[in-house]
């Protein structure tokens, strides 16, 4: 039996403005500038004050009066509401319509690659060869299966099946193999290899022929290492390599040096630097003046925005309007309120960023004064949340993808946070201090006999840091340092 009942309950809900502020907190300064440009495009009631900074005051006033006169003219009897009104009277803020299912190129507003890509380079070189139309088509299909590292990860049997079913062209591995050999002669050297061993062999062979050193003992030994001792080479089993190649340590060292100079990922040289370079724009700037370190935002974005005077005037009209003018006034009011909410959200974002950065600066005065990472205190998100009286999730959003510029370098803000570690003396230090010490020990070790994890535990204990072996292994992996066997050198 169905019944209708009333029920009172308390429920926490975020307002649209609060949701907007939380989204803006995540954005670094570069993304924030782009977000403002998008909002200005979507909301004509929002203006950027920096657009007319270079204009003389008289010219700026004339332009504003001209814009206003044109707006008043549009409000006459021949006013066309279709040119001014959107399909819906109700304004939907852009942040509600944003999605994340587009690529980085689309996010930047570009849909086509502007540079000569790696695949284009290979196709261009294929076109320079004297090949039949069929061979060129099959060669292009092979090139299409080469990844960004320059490797052909798929076997020729699978590729021949794809060509047969998708292109309706009957082929086999015997026909594709010679075409692959041709592609492996292209630049960069090593392209089209099916594994690391083949990649290095192609490059070494090219180096021998180009330098004319085919009879060079060192190059011949390097080829022998790749051909018969590749597994020992990758595992740095140098004693077994010396026995296998029947050579002395100095000659083996020279041959290995020739191999190490080769590029294990030849395709990476063709990656578009413009689209893959990570340009760091700091969100905060720390200055050390006479009174100590002070934090400031890298530009105040909210101060550059204002509400359009034309839209404000149009939204405040109340009397003497016909139906079309009332609709225009309603539209202007909606857009003005949305623009005002966006400006307030940016101001709230900037206020929150300044509060959090000031709390971090107060928590780490020694580090920001001298730049010594060993003077970083253990600091968690909850410590800053307590100091600022903000939620931990808000602190997490603030420190995400934000950079701080100091006199001694630019740092990712979240890297300043670390757990505490207690020394034998009872003193609490940052985990970063232990990692820095671990890095220092490994940097100064004897590379012929690298220090294993057990020995690292002993060395750290001698310096007053009682660290378990598994913890040492975890810190070593976080630093990107391989195990002792892989650090061995001749």
DSSP string computed for 452-486: -HHHHHHHHHHTT----HHHHHHHHHHTT---GGG
- Does one domain contain both 297 and 356? yes
The span from the CA of 31 to the CA of 24, in Å, is 9
Structural contact between residues 329 and 79, judged by C-beta atoms closer than 8 angstroms: no
Q: Is 170 helix (H, G, I), strand (E, B) or coil?
A: coil
Structural domain total, the chain: 4
For 264-300, the pLDDT digits (tens) are: 998 887 764 444 455 778 888 988 776 778 888 887 7
Residue 279 within a domain: no
Q: Are residues 256 and 237 in the same domain?
A: yes
Return phi, psi of residue 61, to 5°.
-65, -40
Render the burial of 57-72: b for 16+ CB within 10 Å, e for the rest.
eeeeeeeeeeeeeebe
Distance (Å) of CA 207 to CA 199, 203, 264: 13, 6, 15
Q: Are residues 178 and 207 in the same domain?
A: no
Distance CA 204, CA 210 (A): 10
Tell me what percent of the residues of the chain surpass a pLDDT of 70. 83
Q: Token match 């002993």: residue?
A: 458
Most confident stretch, 118-132, 304-318, 406-420: 118-132
Q: Indicate if the pLDDT at residue 3 is higher than 70.
A: yes
Pick from 96-105, 227-236, 244-253, 317-326: least confident: 96-105
Task: Answer for the pair 369, 414: CB distance below 8 angstroms, yes or no.
Answer: no
Instruction: Assign 106 a pLDDT band (cuts: 50, 70, 90).
Output: very low
Same-domain status, 232 and 356: no
- Are 452 and 468 part of one and the same domain? yes
pLDDT > 90: what percent of the chain? 20
Whole-angstrom distance, CA of residue 194 vs CA of residue 122? 16
In a domain? residue 201:
yes
Q: 359 to each of 2, 29, 375, 421, 426, how far by Cα in Å?
A: 56, 20, 17, 22, 26
Q: Are residues 376 and 409 in the same domain?
A: yes
Q: Give the chain's mean pLDDT.
A: 80
Domain final residue, candidates 386, 416, 446: 416
Do residues 121 and 96 touch, judged by C-beta distance below 8 A? Answer: no
The verdict on residue 253 lying in a domain is: yes
Cα(208)–Cα(194) distance, integer angstroms: 21
CA distance 170 to 164: 5
Hey, is 205 helix, strand or coil? helix
Which DSSP category does 376 fall into?
Answer: P
Can you give the pLDDT at residue 114? 45
Q: Are residues 254 and 160 in the same domain?
A: no
Q: Quick one: 368 and 451 in the same domain?
A: no
Last residue of a domain, one of 355, 384, 416: 416
* Residues 361, 293 within the same domain: yes
- 353 and 290, same domain (yes or no): yes
Alpha-helix runs per DSSP H in 290-373:
309-315, 323-363, 365-370
Cα torsion for 396, 398, 402, 406, to the nearest 10°? -110
Helices and strands of the chain, counted as H and E runs: 24, 8
The tokens describing 374, both together, are 């060993």
Radius of gyration of the chain (CA): 32
Task: Give the tens place of pLDDT for each residue, 116-163.
Answer: 688 888 999 999 999 999 999 999 999 999 998 899 999 999 999 988
CATH code, domain carrying 450: 1.10.10.60
Q: Give the domain extent around 412.
A: 284-302+339-416
One domain, residues 297 and 375: yes
DSSP character at residue 379? B
CB 163 within 8 A of CB 171: yes
Say if residue 234 is in the same domain as residue 349: no
Its pTM stands at: 0.59
pLDDT at 15 over 90: no
Question: Do the domain assignments include residue 31?
Answer: no
In a domain, 102, yes or no: no
Q: DSSP assignment of 34-78, as one string?
A: HHHHHHHHH-TTEEEGGGGTTS-HHHHHHHHHHHHHHHHHHTSTT
Q: Decide if 90 is inside a domain.
A: no
Where is the domain boundary, 378, 401, 416?
416
User: Distance (Å, rounded) from C-alpha 465 to C-alpha 376?
Assistant: 16
> Phi and psi for 142 in degrees, rounded to 5?
-65, -45
Look at residue 25 and tell me if it is in a domain: no
70 part of a folded domain = no
CB contact at 8 A, 401 and 30: no
- Rounded Cα–Cα distance for residues 16 and 24 (Å): 12
Among residues 411, 423, 434, 422, which one has the least CA distance to residue 364? Answer: 411
Please compute the mean of the pLDDT values over residues 6-12 and round it to a whole number.
81
- Other Cβ atoms closer than 10 A to 387: 16
């Amino acid at each position: 039996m169905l019944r209708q009942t009333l029920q009172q309950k308390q429920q926490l809900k975020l307002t649209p403005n609060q949701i907007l502020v939380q989204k803006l907190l995540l954005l670094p300064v570069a993304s924030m500038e782009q977000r403002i440009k998008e909002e200005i495009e979507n909301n004509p009631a929002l203006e950027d004050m920096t657009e007319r900074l270079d204009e003389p005051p008289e010219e700026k006033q004339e332009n504003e009066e001209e814009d206003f006169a044109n707006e008043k003219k549009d409000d006459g009897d021949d006013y066309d509401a279709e040119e001014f009104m959107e399909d819906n009277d109700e304004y939907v803020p852009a942040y509600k319509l944003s999605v994340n299912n587009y690529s980085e190129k689309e996010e930047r507003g570009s849909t086509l690659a502007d540079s000569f890509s790696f695949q284009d380079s290979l196709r261009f070189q294929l076109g320079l060869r004297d090949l039949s139309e069929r061979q060129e088509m099959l060669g292009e299909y092979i090139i299409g299966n080469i990844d960004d590292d320059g490797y052909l990860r798929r076997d020729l049997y699978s590729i021949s099946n794809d060509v047969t079913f998708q292109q309706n062209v009957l082929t086999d591995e015997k026909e594709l193999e010679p075409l692959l050999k041709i592609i492996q002669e292209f630049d960069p050297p090593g392209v089209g290899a099916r594994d690391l061993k083949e990649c290095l062999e192609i490059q070494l062979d090219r180096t021998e022929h180009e330098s004319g050193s085919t009879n060079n003992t060192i190059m011949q030994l390097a080829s022998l290492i790749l051909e018969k001792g590749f597994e020992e080479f990758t595992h740095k089993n140098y004693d077994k390599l010396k026995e296998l190649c029947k050579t002395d340590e100095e000659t083996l060292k020279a041959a290995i040096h020739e191999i190490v100079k080769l590029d294990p990922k030849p395709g990476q040289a063709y990656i578009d630097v413009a689209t893959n370079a990570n340009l760091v724009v700091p969100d905060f700037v720390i200055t050390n003046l006479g009174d100590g370190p002070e934090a400031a935002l890298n530009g105040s974005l909210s101060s550059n925005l204002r509400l359009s005077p034309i839209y404000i005037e149009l939204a405040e009209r109340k009397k003497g309007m016909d139906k079309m003018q009332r609709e225009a006034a309603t539209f202007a009011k909606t857009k003005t309120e949305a623009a005002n909410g966006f400006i307030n959200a940016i101001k709230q974002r900037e206020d929150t960023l300044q509060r959090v950065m000031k709390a971090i600066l107060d928590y780490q005065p020694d580090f920001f004064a001298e730049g010594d990472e060993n003077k970083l205190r253990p600091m968690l998100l909850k410590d800053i949340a307590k100091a600022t009286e903000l939620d931990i999730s808000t602190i997490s959003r603030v420190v995400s993808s934000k950079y701080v510029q100091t006199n001694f370098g630019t740092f990712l803000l979240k890297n300043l946070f670390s757990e505490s570690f207690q020394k034998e003396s009872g003193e609490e230090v940052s985990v970063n201090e232990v990692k820095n010490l671990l890095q220092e020990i490994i940097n100064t070790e004897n590379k012929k006999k690298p220090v294993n994890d057990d020995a690292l535990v002993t060395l750290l204990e001698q310096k007053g840091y009682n660290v378990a072996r598994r913890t040492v292994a975890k810190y070593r992996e976080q630093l990107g340092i391989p195990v002792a066997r892989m650090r061995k050198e001749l």
